[in-house]
Amino acid sequence: MIEAIGLDADDTLWENETFFRVTEAEFTALLADHGDAETIASRLYDVERANLVRYGYGIKGFTLSMVQTAVELTDGNVDGRTIGRILEMGREMLAHPVDVMPGVVKALEGLQERRLILITKGDLMDQERKVAASALAEMFEAVEILADKTPEAYSRVMNTHDIAPERFLMAGNSMKSDVIPVLQIGGWGVHIPHGLTWIAEHADTPDHPRLRELATIGDLPALVAELEASA
């Protein structure tokens, strides 16, 4: 009944949001003369949101948004050294180590009888780097890096891999990106909340018969078996 399982990567298989938060804190400290941390973080968020449509998700767009926020917040008076430091912060993010989260390897081992597809969004090169560094690639049949996790993008993945949506289950930490669009195309959605999730990824929990919530990815093999048994 569940033939293929999609797994989100950032904050589902490995830590990610924490690197953005650490960098954001450093960014607000760098510009502390121009406002309190909360105000600066809020300005940055507004710039990021407005830029999503052109930059998409990922560290390069985030870095460009930090630079833009610094220019706007200082009315063009930011100095070049501060800009240089922001660029460096972005490059440090692109080099951060990949911390596979507890329970992930065991959960993936317990799901090897299904077709597993890693489905993530963000910068192509950075996501490929993280997949390689995680050493998890061989546990997946395929890796799909999407510009955005829309219902249309998930449908394309279903077509590419010849999967019927009703036999597809997607698990991840973002209700907005990993769960709702998959429910919309007729698949199963499993929400595995992470303590840190970007506000732009938040969405209300819908009331839906094909939605499940898990405390940890470690519970996923048992859930899949249970769904299978009750089918």
Kindly tell me which of 73 and 108 has the beta carbon lying closer to a copy of itself: 73
Calpha distance 74→152 (Å, rounded): 40
Told to check if 87 binds a copy of itself by CB under 8 A, we report yes
Among the listed ranges 12-20, 89-97, 105-113, 168-176, the one in contact with a copy of itself (CB under 8 A) is 89-97
Q: Check: CB of residue 189 under 8 Å from CB of residue 211.
A: yes
Element (H, E) at 144: strand 142-146
Residue from 63, 120, 134, 173 binding a copy of itself (CB under 8 A): 63
- Cβ partners under 8 Å of residue 202, min gap 6: 175, 176
Calpha distance 66→72 (Å, rounded): 10
- Cβ partners under 8 Å of residue 88, min gap 6: none
Told to check if 97 binds a copy of itself by CB under 8 A, we report no
Told to check if 83 binds a copy of itself by CB under 8 A, we report yes
Among the listed ranges 120-128, 167-175, 191-199, 202-210, the one in contact with a copy of itself (CB under 8 A) is 120-128
What are the residues binding a copy of itself (CB under 8 A)? 54-56, 60-61, 63-64, 67-68, 70-72, 74-81, 83-84, 87, 90-91, 94-95, 123-125, 128, 142, 145-148, 160
